[in-house]
Amino acid sequence: MDTWQPPQTAPPSEGPLLDTFGRVADDLRISVTDRCNFRCVFCMPAEGLKWLPKDEILTFEELTRLLGIFVSLGVRSIKVTGGEPTVRADLPTLVSMFREAGPELDMSMTTNGILLDRLAEPLALAGLDRVTVSCHSLMPHRFEGMTRRDALDKVFAGLRAAEEAGLTPIKINCVVIGGENQDEVVDFAAWARRFGYVVRFIEYMPLDADHAWERAKVVPSRQIVDAIGRVFPLVSEGPDHEPAASYRFADGAPGGIGVIASVTEPFCETCNRLRLTAEGQVRSCLFALEELDLREPLRSGATDGELASIIRTAVWRKWSGHRINHPDFVQPERSMSMIGG
Ligand code: SAM
Ligand code: SF4
């Protein structure tokens, strides 16, 4: 059994954030809260989770200082996420602080969209470039079943506001679950064409807090591409820097589709991601079983150099890839909303 062994060597003390497999981490997901106003069935239980106490969450100043260090280490793009990032009070102020720390950063946000109708404009003015809005059904009743919130109209209003604020191109994240919404993939593609969205279909991953994930509910991305391609012929855009394999419509219609095949076609070999949780743990993989703490050293006077060295170590210790498809797979203790997807 080829279980992961941490490297015995030390990371390089300069240059890009490298791991022992030669991958460079330059894309950071920053979770700004573990809280959420939805209860998606594939993520969180109906009663929610035990939220972190406020004093355990990094402050705006702490998050911004860490971001500055990540940028000095070569991070070029960030995704603000959560939990639901828009429930963090005064988010536009944080985004403007991030923009100051990284004027050249590509900065986007993943959100459930419910508060975007009032936040899109202030976020765009604060320096956010784009949004990805999660939407798992275009049918109000089914949307409510999957998110446990009757909120599809609010999400549509949020999407309109994002468009008006110029937070474009808009991406849509749609988690596809067998027996729930897989019959909607062609409707999503038609919707993408109508509004110019890039809809990314995500395979259901074993990161739900309820541990209800079953392999039988994973809809292979290949099937999704084939089903859409039969109705709207697709042209592959080839590999890009995203985990999604992207396709445009052969007839030149606006928008496009992408598939994130984390389970059936893992893309670990080219992964350039790194994650910071809301309470300051750095994780080198969604499925990592270890994380390194930045908050305690940050709060007890560590220098930027010392914090950078912890980040370098976390990346250096990144494993070759997740083990979802191995018999020894262990689901991480943190579920998706506590990591920052
Ligand atoms: N609350 C925001 C949202 O839902 O967009 C951002 C955080 S959420 C954890 C990030 C992404 O992870 C969302 O697109 C969500 O649909 C997706 N996600 C959550 N649980 C998942 C699971 N078990 N498998 C695959 N994707 C999941
Ligand atoms: Fe909240 Fe996003 Fe998880 Fe849904 S997927 S419960 S919106 S964190």
165 torsion bin: left (phi>0), alpha (psi -120 to 50), beta (else): alpha
Cα-atom radius of gyration of the chain, to the nearest Å?
Answer: 19
Q: Which domains does the chain have, with CATH numbers?
A: 27-339 (3.20.20.70)
Residue in the structure block whose two tokens are 């909303």: 337
Tokens of residue 173, six digits: 């994240």
Phi and psi angles of residue 157, each rounded to the nearest 5 degrees, phi first: -65, -40
To test the pocket of ligand 2, the residue of 136, 144, 210, 337 to mutate (highest count of ligand atoms within 8 Å of its CB) is: 337
Report the C-alpha gap between 341 and 34 in whole angstroms.
Answer: 11
In ligand 1, the atom with minimum distance to the C-alpha of 337 is 9
Give ∠ CA 72-78-84 in degrees, rounded to 5.
135
pLDDT tens digits along 79-122? 999 999 999 999 999 999 999 999 999 999 999 999 999 999 99
**Rounded distance from Cα 40 to ligand 2 centre (Å):** 5
**Rounded distance from Cα 39 to ligand 2 centre (Å):** 6
In ligand 2, the atom with minimum distance to the C-alpha of 175 is 5
Report the C-alpha gap between 279 and 260 in whole angstroms.
Answer: 27
Residue nearest to atom 12 of ligand 1 (CA): 341
To test the pocket of ligand 1, the residue of 86, 207, 336, 337 to mutate (highest count of ligand atoms within 8 Å of its CB) is: 336
Report the C-alpha gap between 250 and 219 in whole angstroms.
Answer: 24
**Rounded distance from Cα 300 to ligand 1 centre (Å):** 33
Q: Which residues of 133-172 are buried (b: 16+ CB within 10 A; e: fewer)?
A: bbbbbbeeebbeebbebebbebbbbbbebbbebebeebbb
Tokens of residue 236, six digits: 């592959």
List of long-range contacts for 235-240, beta carbons under 8 Å, 24+ apart: 239/270
The pLDDT assigned to 1 comes to: 41
**Rounded distance from Cα 1 to ligand 2 centre (Å):** 35
pLDDT tens digits along 240-270? 656 779 999 999 999 999 999 888 888 888 8
Number of residues in the chain: 341
Q: What residues in the chain have per-residue pLDDT under 50?
A: 1
Report the C-alpha gap between 169 and 181 in whole angstroms.
Answer: 24
To test the pocket of ligand 2, the residue of 31, 32, 42, 84 to mutate (highest count of ligand atoms within 8 Å of its CB) is: 84
List the one residue out of 57, 142, 63, 54 whose CA is nearest residue 96.
Answer: 63
CA atoms within 13 A on the CB side of 173: 19
The DSSP-derived string for 50-109 is -PPPGGGSPPHHHHHHHHHHHHHTT--EEEEESS-GGGSTTHHHHHHHHHHH-TT-EEEE
> What is the SS3 assignment for 225?
helix
CA atoms within 13 A on the CB side of 186: 10
Residue nearest to atom 8 of ligand 2 (CA): 83
**Rounded distance from Cα 336 to ligand 1 centre (Å):** 7
The pLDDT assigned to 2 comes to: 53
Report the C-alpha gap between 339 and 12 in whole angstroms.
Answer: 26
Residue nearest to atom 4 of ligand 1 (CA): 112
- Is the Cβ atom of 323 under 6 angstroms away from ligand 2? no
**Rounded distance from Cα 118 to ligand 1 centre (Å):** 22
The pLDDT assigned to 63 comes to: 98
List the one residue out of 293, 292, 288 whose CA is nearest residue 331.
Answer: 288
**Rounded distance from Cα 230 to ligand 2 centre (Å):** 31
The pLDDT assigned to 29 comes to: 97
To test the pocket of ligand 1, the residue of 43, 132, 154, 213 to mutate (highest count of ligand atoms within 8 Å of its CB) is: 43
User: What's 12's DSSP letter?
Assistant: P
Torsion of CA 80, 97, 317, 210, to 10 degrees: -30
Report the C-alpha gap between 256 and 253 in whole angstroms.
Answer: 8
Ligand 1 pocket residues where CB is under 6 Å = 36, 42-43, 81-82, 84, 110-112, 134, 173, 175, 202, 204-205, 207-208, 336-337, 341
Report the C-alpha gap between 249 and 186 in whole angstroms.
Answer: 13
Report the C-alpha gap between 74 and 82 in whole angstroms.
Answer: 23
- Is the Cβ atom of 155 under 6 angstroms away from ligand 2? no
Q: Cβ of 24: how many Cβ atoms within 10 Å?
A: 13
**Rounded distance from Cα 204 to ligand 1 centre (Å):** 9
Residue 127, CA distances (Å) to 111, 122, 208, 230 in order: 16, 9, 32, 40
Mean pLDDT, the chain, integer: 94
The pLDDT assigned to 262 comes to: 87
